[in-house]
Amino acid sequence: MSNGLRQGLTSYGDTEFSLFLRKAFIKGMGYSDDALDRPIVGITDTYSDFNPCHGNVPQLIEAVKRGVMLAGAMPMVFPTISIHESFAFPTSMFLRNLMAMDTEEMIRALPVDSVVLIGGCDKTIPAQIMGAASADKPAIVLPTGPMLVGHFKGEQLGACTDCRRLWGEFRGERMSGEDIDVANGRLVPSVGTCGVMGTASTISCMTEALGLSLPGSASVPAVHADRIRMAEATGKRAAEMAKGAGPKPSEILTEAAFRNAIVTLQAIGGSTNGVVHLSAIAGRTKNPIALETYDEVGRDTPVLVDLKPTGQHYMEHFHQAGGVPRLMQELKDLLALDAKHVAGGTLGDAIRNFEDVAGQTVIRPRNAPLKSEGGLVVLRGNLAPRGAVLKQGAAAAKLMQHEGRAVVFDSVADMTARIDDPALDVTADDILVMRNAGPIGAPGMPEAGYIPIPKKLAQQGVKDMVRISDARMSGTAFGTIVLHISPESAVGGPLALVRTGDRIRLDVKARRIDVLIDDAEMKKRQTEWQPPPVPEVAQRGYAKLYLEHVQQADEGCDFDFLAHPSGKP
Ligand code: FES
């Protein structure tokens, strides 16, 4: 008598009375005894008027419910917070752990036998998987799906790689104010997540590779009928999981599953944020990931998916080409196909019925990769003792080995105030350095690592420069950009010690990022360093909790007290 409505009873000191009371209340909503005796599938409702990436959630919920009931279980919807990239101050990353805690505690508190996690916008699925991994009840993910492609003056557009590209054109005065306004209305032509291989698409693809969502669920566009059918099928599967008690996240999130996700991350040319989020998810399990694993896997994994920002197509086209199952057929020798899958069998079973689309060019064969090495590399050096990440797939080849003079900005605000100053002493060969933009420094590790090219250089046609910071970058962005420098400057990492005029050397082949000053000078600067003051907002509440407990980027920026007690990578 411990499943369905009978589980997790509220404590009144009399279990029979607790059940009696619970049933009395829920019957107020018109449920019958037959309905209430069924296994219960919880469905997270992350709809919000502030979250267009989740605009189809009400429709998806209806279809999931249909699937659950067709399979003889009882669907129960419950809300959690919802986070959209552009509607989260100071950053969505600041709120990811709050959503993870909300999701975890609701799954634990409510009498659900399994749960369908409906998410999509960048931080939401990572937060949901983190929470589900810790609650460890049977869980299946349903992404909201990517938005459609937009069109402007004969070219295709997708948020938000093209948002950045067009904004760069406008800043460089190569696009008129009138045109940028029209393009603004064309970049997001439907609900759903960003249509390029940004963070949301990266996470959805990795979720498929982890074995936590049904095959094909990453790429079906948000507004397609197939997305609704995917929701129904997910509901059916969740009902089977509720009846059969499994599998649980702890059975799926194995070392092999994480490796499968990293192979996929590298092969899709995925977002650097994929590293932070996957590390945070792994940190909730007994199988944490060492940062070097991403690099090690990347050396053997080619980029095969030709999507923006690394390539040229959009998620809609990836779907038409066969999506993740088709990609995985190309990667079979690199994957653990015997990894357990939420669909019931193994990953190998899940991708068996892939669609082979003749003539498609979006998913490349192994003998004609887009890049021979994976999209992401891990750097170390005296500037990043605990590591940094660079998306080499989206960087300029000529800057892969580069030495230049540092031009330092002390914060995001300082960078914003001075970057376009005509008097700024900067050339195209310099290296732009920004600090105090990490998990603690900003706070919330904003996606500000995509430091804009100074206006006067943009007007001269400069499209890329080496830029380094302890910030993150949107998965939709591109450029030679070193991110996630750990430890961050706000806790005294070496980035805090760099001064304008220092020489910095980036050597991607050697996986190094170094400031060319000697140890004695580094030590002297370290003794002079003062930590930045704690912002007033962090005197209380969630901000205080966040600043006191957030971990560094190499550990995924989870709170230290939420990580699995088994230890660190
Ligand atoms: Fe939601 Fe890009 S803003 S996925």
265-297 tens-digit pLDDT: 999 999 999 999 999 999 999 999 999 999 999
447 lines ligand 1 (CB under 6 A): no
Which residue would you say has higher pLDDT here, 68 or 164?
68
Using left for φ > 0, alpha for ψ between -120 and 50, and beta otherwise, residue 433 falls in beta
Q: Measuring from atom 3 of ligand 1, which residue has the nearest CA?
A: 85
> Mutual orientation of helices 199-210 and 124-135 as an angle, nearest 10°?
30
229-266 tens-digit pLDDT: 999 999 999 999 999 878 999 999 999 999 999 999 99
> Binning pLDDT at 50, 70 and 90, where does residue 351 land?
very high
Q: What 3 state SS string does 157-199 have?
A: ECCCHHHHHHHHHHHCCCCCHHHHHHHHCCCCCCCCECCCCCH
Q: What 3 state SS string does 458-482 have?
A: HCCCCCCCCEEECCCCCCCCCCCEE
121 lines ligand 1 (CB under 6 A): yes
Which atom of ligand 1 is the closest one to the Cα of 122?
Answer: 4
Which atom of ligand 1 is the closest one to the Cα of 159?
Answer: 2
Cα first-last separation, the chain: 40
Q: Are 554 and 486 in contact (CB under 8 A)?
A: yes
> Binning pLDDT at 50, 70 and 90, where does residue 1 land?
very low
DSSP 531: P
- The per-residue pLDDT for 40 is 97
477 lines ligand 1 (CB under 6 A): no
- The per-residue pLDDT for 567 is 66
198 lines ligand 1 (CB under 6 A): yes
* Probe target for ligand 1 pocket from 92, 164, 194, 314, with the most ligand atoms within 8 Å of CB: 194
Q: Lowest-pLDDT range, 15-19, 159-163, 406-410, 548-552?
A: 159-163
For the chain, give every domain's residue range: 38-148+190-350, 150-184, 376-532
76-123 tens-digit pLDDT: 999 999 999 999 999 999 999 999 999 999 999 999 999 999 999 999
Residue 2 has pLDDT above 60, yes or no: no
Name which of 95, 170, 155, 153 is nearest 126 in CA terms.
Answer: 95
Strand partners for 42: 76, 115
311 lines ligand 1 (CB under 6 A): no
202 lines ligand 1 (CB under 6 A): no
Percent of the chain residues past pLDDT 90, beyond the cut: 90
Q: Is the pTM for the entire model greater than 0.75? A: yes
For domain 376-532, give the CATH superfamily.
IlvD/EDD C-terminal domain-like (3.50.30.80)
476 lines ligand 1 (CB under 6 A): no
434-477 tens-digit pLDDT: 999 999 998 899 999 999 999 999 889 999 999 999 999 987 77
Structure tokens at 474: 């949107």
Any idea of the CA torsion for 363, 389, 430, 525, to the nearest 10 degrees? 180
Beta strands per DSSP E along 351-463: 376-381, 384-391, 401-409, 431-434
Q: Measuring from atom 2 of ligand 1, which residue has the nearest CA?
A: 194
194 lines ligand 1 (CB under 6 A): yes
Residue 218 has pLDDT above 90, yes or no: yes
Distance CA 527, CA 532 (A): 14
- The per-residue pLDDT for 477 is 77
